[in-house]
Amino acid sequence: MKAQVVTPELRQWILEQAKAGCRPEDVLASMQASGWDGAVAEQALEDTLSQFLAERAQQAALPPPVPVPGPLLDGAPTQLVLADRTVQVLLTMHNPRVVLFGGFLSDDECEALIEDSRPRMTRSETVVNATGGSEVHGSRTSHGMFFARGETPLCTRIEQRIAELLRWPVINGEGLQVLHYAPGAEYRPHYDYFDPLQPGMASVLQRGGQRVGTLLMYLNTPPRGGATVFPDVALEVAPIKGHALFFSYDRAHAMTKTLHGGAPVVEGDKWVATKWLREGEFR
């Protein structure tokens, strides 16, 4: 069978479809219906769109992308077998890069994290861009606390599990943060990366570089409300005990579409644990 050659004309046609708002899966289906081999068509689509996005990012003077953590999902596995636990892959999204894992924490681990954190709960704060410090702000109405990295055997076990799952060194992670949302509490949409153009961020970035990934672990299941929302892509993830939500951002820019928030808790309360991952060793 004669090898199919991806021509400049085909690449131009792919770009025209993308600019017209066609979904990649529809473009791929059209190519296959026209006789293109599935693997060749998929590679042509991926290469053409990746090059187009890279050129557009360069033209817009965007910050360059950096390596990010992430699970190994080659072959679309439904579960990942880790050293001490098997987790389910429940949802994947490529833009933004979002993956939902089922059964990442056991019920006992969820309950132990909650109990270990209770005595140290204080009103949650947000980062102050001008100084690099933190303050109580009306956009965030939860209570929370931080564990030092490796502070307890439970923290160590969870941190090692995260490192294996996301293929990112333990030392590049901040300590676990546990948050408690009472009825009505919320965290309005925000980004987890630090804005390097703000005057107070230099000292924050010195501690390990930019944040490049977030793993949000749900420690209980509120009866109503408390979803994690991504407004740019109309995505809502329900908080289910033991599940973990991962998302990454390869640059400090809105193009990552990682604007997200914690919707108000409507009934009951919500407990979560957050792990932020840095470019380098967090100190």
Burial of 121 (0-12, 13-18, 19+ CB in 10 A): middle
Count of domains forming the chain? 2
Which of these, 218, 146, 144, 142, lies nearest to 182 by C-alpha position?
142
How far is Cα 144 from Cα 187, in angstroms, rounded to an integer? 12
234 and 146 housed in the same domain: yes
108 and 147 housed in the same domain: yes
Which pLDDT tens digit goes with each residue over 25-83?
A: 899 999 999 999 988 999 999 999 888 877 776 656 678 899 999 999 999 999 999 99
Contact 85, 161 (CB under 8 A): yes
How far is Cα 167 from Cα 13, in angstroms, rounded to an integer? 37
178 and 215 housed in the same domain: yes
89 and 53 housed in the same domain: no
221 and 108 housed in the same domain: yes
171 and 120 housed in the same domain: yes
Residue 283 lies in a domain: no
How far is Cα 217 from Cα 245, in angstroms, rounded to an integer? 6
With cut-offs at 50, 70 and 90, classify the pLDDT of residue 117.
very high
Q: Of 94-103, 191-200, 232-241, which gets the smallest average pLDDT?
A: 191-200
Q: Which domain range does residue 256 map to?
A: 79-278
Which pLDDT tens digit goes with each residue over 168-208?
A: 999 999 999 999 999 999 999 999 999 988 888 888 999 99
- In this structure, what is the dihedral angle of CA atoms 134, 234, 241, 188, given to the nearest 10 degrees? 20
236 and 119 housed in the same domain: yes
51 and 92 housed in the same domain: no
CATH of the domain at 205: 2.60.120.620
